[in-house]
């Protein structure tokens, strides 16, 4: 059997072209976002196989993820890289004192993704094909051009450009302290894009229950694909009440950090669209557990962020999913996803199909090498 011989961990500070603001900034709960902290894991085996995985943190948590990964990664040395499920459990128990969600499992996620990438590369298959793909392309919508710091004219220009590049839908941010500002922006975007373009909105958890009900009713006229995070991410009962009262689908899940937290949303019937994030819930191993539960409840899957990972996972989901298009991570990799006709198309490259760029390596701020003793 092949054995894991080395693990390289690195933190990369990815600068964003402009400071990003959503509703959480306008309500004073967060600062504008200027960078994303990436955690990369590169795993090598005695037989010469390699795999690369990554996770990320926004605004805070990057150093914590790196520190935890450095502590637990030695437990992989000498192990069979095929045993991904067992290794996930081993890593969880290695850091059991800090729990099974949050920064601890987000550190595991980068290692878990690297193991899956290694397995698919060794098989000579794209990850989606290894998992059992239902399709070779996935519907995609853009989020990166629709933030609240941008004037509505800029949002429309961004949307028009992304649609011309092949993106299939547009999501814009709402949750402005003035609800009329939100409605005016949505009305203008819908008018300029037309009724045929799939349009979503995202309140980033900034409405209370009465506001969400009022805004949900007011937004019905725009034929939205979904309303995302109208309430606090952990308010399963409130989301369920909203989902029952509106025609527009309710979407949530990106801020949750475990399968169990998502299961609570599903148990309450709180969402029509489930939005897990593999790096946030512990990696691909955990994502597959959640996807099986979501499929049993006939939910639409729309993974959050990290499309380089999620296009593979969405392609392996039975029901037609969506994948979120962000261009923020482009500088980190040598490859670009193929986007046309409203869909992201799987590459034929094995594994995730991405290679860390030299530019990304130049942004490295922390690095650790774990070897066979």
Q: Which residues are annotated as a binding site for Mg(2+)?
A: 202, 228, 254
> Does the active-site annotation cover 129?
no
Write the burial class of residue 157 (CB in 10 Å: 0-12 exposed, 13-18 middle, 19+ buried): middle
Task: Pick the catalytic residue from 119, 129, 176, 304.
Answer: 304
Rg (CA), the chain: 20
**Cα angle 55-59-60, degrees, rounded to a multiple of 5:** 70
Distance CA 280, CA 289 (A): 14
Distance CA 226, CA 189 (A): 15
**Cα angle 245-248-252, degrees, rounded to a multiple of 5:** 90
> Does the active-site annotation cover 90?
no
Task: Pick the catalytic residue from 68, 119, 129, 173.
Answer: 173
Give the length of the chain: 373
Helix (H, G, I), strand (E, B) or coil at 133: coil
Binding-site residue numbers are 22-24, 58-59, 171, 202, 204, 228, 254, 324
Strand-pair category, 322-325 with 226-228: unpaired
Integer angstrom CA distances of residue 79 from 3, 6, 106, 260: 5, 11, 21, 28
Q: Which residues are catalytic?
A: 173, 304
């Amino acid at each position: 059997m092949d054995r894991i011989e080395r693990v390289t961990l690195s933190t990369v500070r990815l600068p964003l072209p402009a400071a990003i603001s959503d509703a959480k900034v306008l309500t004073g709960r967060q600062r504008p976002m200027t960078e994303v902290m990436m955690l990369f894991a590169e795993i090598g085996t005695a037989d010469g196989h390699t795999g690369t995985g990554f996770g990320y943190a926004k605004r805070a948590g990057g150093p914590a993820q790196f520190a935890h990964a450095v502590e637990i990664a030695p437990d992989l040395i000498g192990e069979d890289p095929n045993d991904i499920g067992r290794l996930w459990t081993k890593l969880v128990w290695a850091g059991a004192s800090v729990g099974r969600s949050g920064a601890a499992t987000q550190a595991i996620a980068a290692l878990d993704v690297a193991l899956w990438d290694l397995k698919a590369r060794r098989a000579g298959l794209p990850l989606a094909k290894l998992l059992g793909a239902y399709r070779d392309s996935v519907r995609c919508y853009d989020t990166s051009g629709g933030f609240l710091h941008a004037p509505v004219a800029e949002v429309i220009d961004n949307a028009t450009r992304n649609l011309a590049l092949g993106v299939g839908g547009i999501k814009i941010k709402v949750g402005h302290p003035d609800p009329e500002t939100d409605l005016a922006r949505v009305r203008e975007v819908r008018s300029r894009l037309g009724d045929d373009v799939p349009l979503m909105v995202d309140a980033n958890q900034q409405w209370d229950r009465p506001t969400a009900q009022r805004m949900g009713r007011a937004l019905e006229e725009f034929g939205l694909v979904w309303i995302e995070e109208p309430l606090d991410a952990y308010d399963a009962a409130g989301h369920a009440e909203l989902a029952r009262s509106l025609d527009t689908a309710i979407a949530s899940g990106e801020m949750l950090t475990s399968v169990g937290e998502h299961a609570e949303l599903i148990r309450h019937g709180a969402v029509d669209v489930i939005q897990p994030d593999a790096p946030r819930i512990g990696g691909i191993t955990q994502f597959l557990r959640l996807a099986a539960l979501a499929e049993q409840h006939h939910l639409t899957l729309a993974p959050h962020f990290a499309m380089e990972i999620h296009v593979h996972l969405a392609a392996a989901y039975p029901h037609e999913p969506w994948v979120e298009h962000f261009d923020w991570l482009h500088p980190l990799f040598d490859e670009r996803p193929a986007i046309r006709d409203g869909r992201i198309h799987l590459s034929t490259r094995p594994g995730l199909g991405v290679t860390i760029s030299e530019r990304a390596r130049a942004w490295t701020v922390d690095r650790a090498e774990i070897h066979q003793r």
